[in-house]
Amino acid sequence: MAAAALLAPSVAAALALARSARVPGPDLPYRPVAPRRRDEGLPVPAALDPVLRNSVAGGRFRPAASAGALHPVSVRLLAGPGAGLPTGQYAYEPGAHRLHPLGPPSAPVARGAFAVLEVAPERTVAHYRHRAWPLTLLDAGHTVAALVAAGAGAYCLDLAAGAVPRPPGRRTDGIPLAIVRLTADGELSDGPPAVQDGHRAAPHPEIARARGILRLLAAAGDRHGTWYTARRSAHPAVVRARRSADPAALATGRPPSRGVLRRVLTAARAAAPGGPEWWLAVGGDRPALLTGAGPGLRTEAVGPVLDTLAVRAAGQGWIARTGAVLLAVGCPSDAGPNRIRRDHLLAGYGIGHAQLAATALGLPARPVGSWQGADLGADLGGPAGRRWIVHGLAFAAPPDGHR
């Protein structure tokens, strides 16, 4: 408890900076280094093929959303009896859809198969600078949503990094922030001893700061974690079809019907009931700010709310002309590391499911992850610093306008 209290000021200060109006500097001259593969890898076994292929496979564009298509989240597979693989750990290669053993077969670290979602923030920080590390948390939440929608069995968003089995006999640059059980059942066991990081070139100070913050958040979890049974929420074709729409396709000024708005909001709220609040900012002829009220929607404010959101969302002017924006709201200014991690992961998770619902309805949609000064509670006359916009999903009526 005392350790968590010591971590909170540095994490809270980093979050305040990410939310500030400070403009990121130019891109850092970061060159990603492809991992060395000493083997051709193994094919993904039949039992795991659909869930991985339909969620995280691909190149720049994948079923799981990522800010700037930079994909800081990687999958490390823990395989035990029932996984269809020799027991051990594997690195998943999304482009080739193959598994690379991390060392020789070992004592099982799991029964069944688990995907450890690890974040390497370098590329995201190189582009978004001080705004980057919250985006990697949102990306991890989107990845969990994609795996669950593709058929994963359960997930955990608060397991402490020290309780996650480490790769055998080698260091890892990835920071574990979530874990997903891919099989219908299974359990984790203790992994091999931790390996100290080997020598590596000192990263740019901004990258080092982001890695430090993410390590603090990963360490702030629980030794056992809270596991949630997943409910498959999308047809495989819908998961594969998910893409972030071009802003021009969203800048139509046409909001969907209230029934469709409610379905998109409900998809997020049902997926993440213990997470952020869910609001809707709607454009068109009757601009307003709405919340879910039982089976319906309640108007909280009226006026050109999308104009304000366009300024707060990194000045993306097209947002003022879109149909609607679903908003994940929470994570107060004084939130501790556990709350920051949870609210961002659940915001990404909920928006991931909302985008799948929009895709199934034929709506163009695009996640919006970077927000500056977006204190929604204060804007509505409430206490400052309590209800921040954490994430968003812009969407609009489809081109034919029938929904």
C-alpha–C-alpha distance, residues 146 and 151, integer Å: 9
Q: Given a cut of 80, is residue 3 above it in pLDDT? A: no
Q: Report the C-alpha gap between 324 and 48 in whole angstroms.
A: 36
pLDDT digits (tens, 9 = 90+) for 343-380: 999 999 999 999 999 999 999 999 999 999 999 999 99
- Choose one of 194, 229, 264: the last residue of a domain: 229
Q: Among 238-242, 291-295, 298-302, 351-355, which stretch is predicted with the lowest mean pLDDT?
A: 291-295
* pTM attached to this predicted model: 0.93
Shared domain for 210 and 267, answered yes or no, is no
Cβ count near 222 (within 10 Å):
12
265-285 per-position pLDDT tens digit: 999 999 988 899 999 999 999
CB neighbour class for 124 (10 Å; exposed up to 12, middle 13-18, buried from 19): buried
Residues 262 and 332 in one domain: yes
Strand partners, 289: 281, 301
Q: Is the pLDDT of residue 6 over 70?
A: no
* Any domain includes 236: no
In the predicted structure, residue 114 carries a pLDDT above the cut 80 = yes
The arithmetic mean of pLDDT across residues 18-43, rounded, is 83
At 146, which amino acid appears? Answer: A
129-183 pLDDT, tens per residue? 999 999 999 999 999 999 999 999 999 999 999 888 888 765 567 999 999 999 9
Are residues 288 and 385 located together in one domain of the fold? Answer: yes
Residues 163 and 268 in one domain: no
The separation between CA 15 and the C-alpha centre of its own chain, rounded to angstroms, equals 16
* Model pLDDT, residue 194: 44
Cα–Cα–Cα angle for 70, 72, 77, nearest 5°?
Answer: 130
Same domain, 123 and 154: yes
Residue at token pair 């707060």: 312
Tell which residue, 23, 15, 16, 13, has the closest CA to residue 314: 23
Q: Are residues 86 and 182 in the same domain?
A: yes
**Model confidence pLDDT, tens digit, residues 43-84:** 999 999 999 999 999 988 888 889 888 899 999 999 999 999
Q: Are residues 225 and 277 in the same domain?
A: no
Q: Are 181 and 113 in contact (CB under 8 A)?
A: yes
- In the chain, how many domains are there? 2
H/E run at residue 367: strand 365-368
Q: What mean pLDDT do residues 251-257 have?
A: 95
pLDDT score of 313 more than 90: yes
Is 219 in the same domain as 249? Answer: no
Residue 315, pLDDT score: 95
Position 207 scores a pLDDT of 93
CATH code, domain with 183 = 3.40.109
Average pLDDT over residues 383-391: 98
In a domain, 17, yes or no: no
Residues of the chain with pLDDT > 70, as a percent, come to 89
**Is 91 within 8 Å of 99 (Cβ atoms)?**
yes
- In this prediction, residue 170 carries a pLDDT of 58
State whether 180 and 61 are in the same domain.
yes
Q: Is residue 12 part of a domain?
A: no
Say yes or no: 209 and 266 in one domain: no
- On whether residue 7 sits in a domain, the answer given is no
The two tokens of residue 168 are 């055998």
Q: What is the number of other CB atoms lying within 10 angstroms of the CB of residue 264?
A: 27
User: The domain containing residue 175 runs over which residues?
Assistant: 23-229
**Region of poorest pLDDT, from 61-65, 215-219, 379-383:** 61-65
CA dist 45 and 34 (Å) reads 24
Could you tell me if residue 213 is inside a domain? yes
Average pLDDT, the chain: 90
How distant, in Å, are the alpha carbons of 37, 108, 142, 302, 357 from that of 389? 41, 42, 17, 18, 21
Say if CB 254 and CB 233 are below 8 A apart.
no
- Asked if the structure places residue 343 within a domain, the reply is yes
The lowest-confidence range among 30-39, 306-315, 349-358 is 30-39
What are 156's strand-pairing partners? 179, 227
The answer to whether residues 116 and 75 touch, using CB atoms and an 8 Å cutoff, is yes
Q: Which tokens in the block code for residue 158?
A: 């608060």
The verdict on residue 11 lying in a domain is: no
**Is the pLDDT confidence value at 33 over 70?**
no
- Does residue 318 share a domain with residue 201? no
205-219 and 337-360 helices, crossing angle to 10°? 90
What number is the average pLDDT over the span 13-40?
84
Picking from 172, 206, 229, the residue at the C-terminal end of a domain is: 229
Say if 142 falls within a structural domain.
yes
